[in-house]
Amino acid sequence: MRVKGESNAGDKQQVNSNTRDASLYEIGATFFRIGLVSFSLAALGEAKNWLVKEKKWFTDEEYLQGVGFSQILPGAPAVSLMTYLGYHLRGFLGAFFATAAYLTPAFLFMLFFTYLYAEYHDAAIVFSLFKGLGALVVGLVINTVLNLWKSGVNNKQNWVLAVAGFLLIYWLHLSIYWILFIAASVSTVFMLVSRRWKWWAEKMAGLTNGGITVKNNSTPFEWKKFGLILGLVSAAAGANVLVILSSQTLFQLGTTFMELGGLVFGSGYAMFPFIQEKAIDTYHWITTNQFTAALALSLVTPGPITKIAAFIGYEAAGLLGALIATVNIYLPTFCIINLTADLYRRVGQVAAIRLVVRGVVAAFIGTLWAVVIRLAGNILVDIPTWFMALGAIAAQRYTKIDTLWLVIMGAAVSIVLF
């Protein structure tokens, strides 16, 4: 990424000065505020407003580097970005405070509504509410998949990978490991072919000259700092392992969500097929209707949509289960960022790796259609539910109504309609 002249250098100097003055308390308070008012990927814009424009802790260049890094990592991109920015401010502790503060509002909101659902879901008004919201969520998910497809499946070779991803999970029912392995292998082959043959790069991958250039930087690597961070990351991971080993359910929750958080690329939505399979079919922690309710709650409360883990964890093992599921879905990427953020800033963006990851992302976007088909089959069972789903699609695509207001209006319609 190119650096702009002297004015950008001046900005960077100012940012570095402000960074030294950023206390852990101020980092926590700022990221808590971002988490309180941000819904899903909208956090990327909210973070830029606060951290670049208001606090001036980062230049546009540095912020965009963080956004780029978050896109090539597994897990939820918004959470990855907050971890990276926190690390850039105050190292490991900055990453911890930023991540924890950003996720706290989402966790508390989800926990509160999960409790209400668990206690009162049999009430007639609650049943009507969630039947309508379930249909609304199907419409919102379809819209989301269409938008992700438009941005992530934007060339012919990614179309191949996306369709293959759908077939691998829907028809062959392959595990996440096989899908990741196949998608990464085929995407790597496509990248190598693009480097070898110009016609493939232009016609299939949509690349121009220099599209897979690798940058180099000779800045010395700080091995002492890396050793300290490695020790802290190992301690955090070790403490987590000790907790999840305390019971079979916690172990299943911890390992399942750790696996999902560390292996699934392409945003939190890409995790849904695998969360659905594990939580409903493998361990029977929740039912399909409960999964739909959890999905609805994750969409209408602040924070990343992957906070659905808190709902599933609570249903499986109460408050501790909710905490274990939430921690473990984000822990792998938290550790990866702390161990690789300095290397990423030193080397820059390796375009060849980004091309491979984009192919993997395309494959995972393809798997999302399996979620759509399963949700639609279970939720859209009559004309009113189809009306709710199609209405949500139309309202979100052709109006400027905020998703939160759309859900509030949908809740009111649900109570009357059902």
pLDDT, tens digit (0-9, with 9 covering 90-100), for 85-131? 999 999 999 999 999 999 999 999 899 888 888 787 666 777 777 77
Does a structural domain hold residue 157? yes
**pLDDT tens-place string over residues 122-138:** 667 777 777 787 788 78
Question: How would you class 357 by CB atoms within 10 Å of its CB: exposed for 0-12, middle for 13-18, buried for 19 or more?
Answer: buried
CA atoms of 224 and 246, how far apart (whole Å) = 34
Query: Structurally, how many domains does the chain consist of?
Result: 1
The pLDDT score that the predictor gives to residue 400 is 82
Can you give the pLDDT at residue 350?
A: 66
Q: What is the pLDDT of residue 103?
A: 95
Q: How many CB atoms lie within 10 A of CB 236?
A: 17
The identity of residue 5, as a single letter, is G
- From CA 206, how far away is CA 157, in angstroms rounded? 9
pLDDT at 36: 83
For 15-26, what is the mean pLDDT? 66
Most confident segment among 142-146, 147-151, 328-332: 328-332
Whether the predicted pLDDT of 358 surpasses 60: yes
Distances (CA, A) of 300 to 30, 134, 406: 22, 12, 9
Spatial separation of the C-alpha atoms in residues 295 and 407, rounded to whole Å:
12
Better-scored residue on pLDDT, 223 or 43: 223
* Residue 8 located in a structural domain: no
Look at residue 269 and tell me if it is in a domain: yes
Average pLDDT for 267-276: 81
Reference 362, options 207, 202, 190, 214; nearest CA is 190
Does residue 77 belong to any structural domain of this protein? no
Cα 249 to chain center, whole Å? 24
pLDDT given at position 233: 93
Average pLDDT over residues 240-267: 90
Whether 71 is covered by a domain: the verdict is: no
| 214: pLDDT strictly greater than 70 | no
134 domain residue, yes or no? yes
User: For residue 241, what are its two tokens?
Assistant: 């392992």
**CA dist., res. 162 & res. 61, Å (int):** 31
User: Would the pLDDT of 62 be above 70?
Assistant: yes
Q: Above 90 in pLDDT, residue 319?
A: yes
Task: Count how many residues are written for the chain.
Answer: 418
**CB-CB contact of 264 with 274 (8 Å):** yes
166-203 b/e with 16+ CB inside 10 Å = b?
Answer: bebbbeeebebeebbebbbebbbebbeebbeeeebbee
Dihedral pair phi/psi, residue 240, rounded to 5°: -65, -40
pLDDT band at 353 (very low <50, low <70, confident <90, very high): confident
> Is pLDDT of 378 > 70?
yes
Whether 208 is covered by a domain: the verdict is: yes
Over residues 278-304, the mean pLDDT reads 85
Q: Which residues pair with 39 in a beta bridge?
A: 303
For residue 135, what are the domain limits?
A: 107-417
- The whole-number pLDDT of residue 348 equals 52
What pLDDT, on a 0 to 100 scale, did the predictor assign at position 230? 92
Confidence of residue 41 (pLDDT cuts 50, 70, 90): low
Least confident span in 2-6, 61-65, 202-206, 282-286: 2-6
Measured in degrees and rounded to the nearest 5, phi and psi for residue 39 equal -115, 120
Q: With a threshold of 0.95, does the pTM exceed it?
A: no
**pLDDT for residue 54 is more than 60:** yes
Confidence of residue 2 (pLDDT cuts 50, 70, 90): very low
Q: What is the mean pLDDT of residues 164-189?
A: 87
Q: Does the pLDDT at position 387 exceed 50?
A: yes
Rounded mean pLDDT of the chain? 82
Q: Within a domain: residue 70?
A: no
